[in-house]
Amino acid sequence: MSATQRNNVHVFGQGSTPMIFAHGYGCDQNMWRLLTPRFERDYRLIVFDLVGCGKSDLSAYDRERYGSLRGHAEDVLEILTELSLGPAIFVGHSVSAMIGMLAGIARPELFSAHVMVGPSPCYIDDGDYVGGFSREDIESLLDTLDSNYLGWASAMAPQIMGAPDNPALREELTNSFCATDPEIAKHFARVTFLSDNRADLPELRERTLILQCSDDIIAPRAVGEYVHRALPNSTLRIIDNVGHCPHMSAPEAVADAMREFL
């Protein structure tokens, strides 16, 4: 099976410069629909689903391959290679910001820049590092996921979305979480929340825009500031937004920051 089939890839837009969008945990490519029209005229846009999410080929989900974020990073490289598109601007939300970073370190010639939306290289507090969660917090979260995934998804998705004035977006993220295969979701949650990519940050050389929300329960401001200090060629922009999904709840602010950066 080709990478474009496996990852449900769609390519559109009138421009020639490639821009590839990678969604976060529990989401799919549809979550970019409020942002992509703002770049459709000037860029060649690529959207896809991480294997195990959306309309990707669920039978391709291999727990060994995707037992670390590097498996998804390899998928990104396969997609760009198969499409013969690059160097591309990589736009990654949440965990996919780290997936894009790993892909960029492995094959820097395929990327011209990175945009990280709410990135976190490590979710667990460690000494002076503030990740936003204690080890006990994460273990409790994962235990709840294992015992009652749908209940966890229904409770957590609205908090992750934020957007207090837009209940439709909160409901959409809840439905997206609940539509994900529970066994895949549980496995990917462990890979995501137990990952630690802090040591990889200095290896990314391409220009990088870090978009940090002013109020984010998943990636607090201290995390964005840490990523900015660790990346050798980065710009940090704070988006005035409540929640972890500014590309949905504040798409114009995200687009403005991206245009200025690019």
Catalytic entry in 94, 176, 195, 249: 94
Catalytic entry in 114, 244, 247, 249: 244
- Residue 244 bears catalytic tag: yes
Instruction: Give average pLDDT by consecutive 10-residue segment, the chain, 262 residues.
Output: 96 97 96 98 98 96 97 98 94 98 98 98 97 94 91 89 90 90 94 97 98 95 97 96 96 98 97
Residue 160, pLDDT score: 92
The residue range of the domain holding 241 is 3-261
Residue 31, pLDDT score: 97
> What backbone phi and psi angles, to 5 degrees, belong to 237?
-125, 130
- Residue 2 bears catalytic tag: no
Residue 85, pLDDT score: 87
Cα separation of 36 and 174, whole Å?
Answer: 22
Catalytic entry in 23, 195, 216, 228: 216
Tokens found for residue 124: 């667990």
How many distinct structural domains can be found in the chain? 1
- Residue 94 bears catalytic tag: yes
Residue 178, pLDDT score: 87
What is the value of pTM for the model shown? 0.96
Q: Where residue 123 sits, what CATH number does that domain have?
A: 3.40.50.1820
